[in-house]
A = this chain, B = another copy of it.
Amino acid sequence: MDITWSNFKKQLPVVCQAIAEADFLAIDGEFSGISDGPSFTTLTNSLDTPEERYEKLKAHSMEFLLFQFGLCTFKYDDVKAKYIIKSFNFYIFPRPFNRNSPDKKFVCQSSSIDFLANQGFDFNKVFRDGIPYLNQEEERLLRDQQEEKRYHTNGASTTCYMYISPDASRAPVVPVIPDDQKDFIDKIVESVDEFLKDEEKKVLQLEPCTGYQRKLIYQTMNWKFPRGTHVETVESPNNERRMIITKVDEDERKNKEIQKKVKEQEDLNNAVGFSRVIQAISSSSKLVVGHNMMLDIMHTIHQFYCQLPNDLEEFKSLTNCVFPRVLDTKLMASTQPFKAIISHTVLAELEKRLQMPPFNPPKVESAEGFPSYDTAVGQLHEAGYDAYITGLCFITMADYLGSFLSPPQTHVSVQSDVISPFFNKLFLMRITDIPYLNLDGPDLLPTRDNVLHVTFPKEWKASDLYQLFSAFGKIQVSWIDDTSAFVTLTQTDQVQIAVNISRFAESYCVQKYAEYVAKKDRQSLSKRKRTDDGWMDFERKRTKTQYNLDQTFSTKKSINSVEEEPRPVSPEESEVLKEDTASPTASDAAESSKRPKTETDQAECSKHLL
């Protein structure tokens, strides 16, 4: 079901009910771009640490707009023995709803826009009828502004303040009238005096004036005529704003104030808009399933909650608050026992594969009043549809795990122990020796002792690196930037030889991975020392990290995927990928024999780094 601003308010209760009754939720986002700086290859270097990956995505992906959000709720019906689904496709746009609303800017990346355009994405629906939103800070600011405005301008009695604002200590403002406004304000006071004496007249309409003058009038009215009047500003069809003063008794005035407050509350709710859906998902604490969902989660928090923290550990805590339980189907499909039987984990490929033995595609049914998706004519890259098939993939894989239980189960509930090992781990794209970001604790720290860090002149190409290391057999090059790369050797014992040889070189510099990391840590340490955090803070974090490291190894044993061998990457592949500019149209990426489906990969990447 498409949800735009036109039907949002009507459908919000339906959405909230669907979330409340669901066994689990599947989500997916479509963005206006992926990287505002580095190429796709550099953004997802295969030797990134989780910290580096997070920092890069935070630095280069958050300026884009999440403008379509798919939510599919799944509720198991024991009688029918099938899932009943409700699918929603939200169009999102930071529409400025009034003059106080933030005028947001967002970046578009041509390749991503072009890719979505080719999929038939309806940009008019987003920009003309998208649902607005506020993050929590913006919501708070707006609430404060309303409060402040009410305090300065509202009503005309002290009792009124007590009703509107619980902060009764606030007395009406004594207006400070600039000299050049004194005549103007004196005349207004005079006319109000006359108006109050004239028993026939119920309403006084003032001449149009500036916003600044209106503010002064409000303050003066509060001060001089605290009772018996109601003051409001009305806007005419030709955009003129006039102030209207009405004689009212206390009941009438209170009533008007209540109405006004209700209206303001409604405006605020409207402005919070789509963020209320995310708040509903969050407070439900339901399992949230996504496919390659790191960017989805980062964008969702960034756009609808708050600015992302600089520190990865803080991001993990924050994610645990917003989404207490998440599951990434791309990670699940890349982990044993699935890894052995699933060769491609791109969403569309995965969905196809899971329809064949040994898997049993689940029975699902759209709830009454919800249109059903047909996977045969899939609307891939529509967020609602992608969320739907993500949910299907999850159910199929969960049910497959159930077949190993004794007795075997055809339906596995989300509470089952067979699923829990996959909770709160996000797939880390392309990083072969750290398969996931662990939201519940520290991440794996591979030694990478067959890896060299090489710096070289900007003119160097891949072929120069292959030539330089030609004595060491097959190598893998992972570009960091124009003048540095990681080079992975096949044999660890050759690392020292390469470092020794390089001591005589002037044009390039080679160091072991561990040395590079240590140097980088020292740099960020000295940087941190210069900040206000101080040494104590750093020490505390370091101790915490050491404690966490001990945990790592116990975690390591619990997940099969960690024990898998790194996927071998040929030097040619690195070469191809370096040439590739991450454009989703780059079909050249399809040619690596190791990754015959890279074209489809790239398609998905353009959306969310599969």
Contact = CB atoms under 8 A, between A and B. Distances in A.
A543 interface: no
B109 A573 contact: no
A530 to B, nearest CB: 25
A509 B556 CA distance: 63
Interface in A229-251: 235, 239-241
Given A210-B576, A585-B98, A588-B241, A110 B114 contact: no
Given A124-B122, A178-B466, A239-B590, A572 B212 contact: yes
Nearest to A40: B103
Contacts of A240: 590-591
B110 A107 contact: no
Given A178-B466, A180-B474, A239-B590, A110 B103 contact: yes
Most buried by B among A93, A101, A105: A105
A138 interface: no
Interface string A189-212: 000000000000000000011111
Given A99-B583, A114-B96, A128-B117, A178 B210 contact: no
A263 B571 CA distance: 32
A575 B176 contact: no
A235 B590 CA distance: 11
Interface string A325-347: 00000000000000000000000
A252 B212 CA distance: 81
B123 A178 contact: no
Contacts of A107: 105-108
A117 to B, nearest CB: 4
A352 to B, nearest CB: 15
Nearest to A470: B179
B114 A212 contact: no
A397 to B, nearest CB: 27
A592 interface: yes
A470 B575 CA distance: 70
A93 B123 CA distance: 14
A286 interface: no
A599 interface: yes
Interface in A44-88: 65
Contacts of A117: 124, 127-128
Interface string A216-230: 000000000000000
B127 A123 contact: yes
Contacts of A32: 108
Given A107-B106, A473-B179, A593 B210 contact: yes
B96 A585 contact: yes
A273 interface: no
Nearest to A587: B239
Contacts of A587: 99, 235, 239, 241
Contacts of A585: 96, 98-99
Interface string A453-468: 0000000001100110
Contacts of A111: 96, 103
Contacts of A593: 208-210
Given A103-B581, A110-B95, A209 B591 contact: yes
Interface string A112-139: 0110111000111011100000000000
B108 A211 contact: no
A596 to B, nearest CB: 8
A575 B124 contact: no
A462 B106 CA distance: 31
A213 interface: yes
A256 to B, nearest CB: 22
A576 B573 CA distance: 59
The 6 tightest CB contacts between A and B, nearest first, are A210-B572, A212-B575, A123-B123, A239-B590, A99-B586, A178-B466
13 contacts: A103-B110, A103-B581, A106-B108, A123-B124, A123-B128, A176-B463, A176-B467, A179-B470, A209-B591, A210-B570, A210-B575, A214-B591, A239-B590
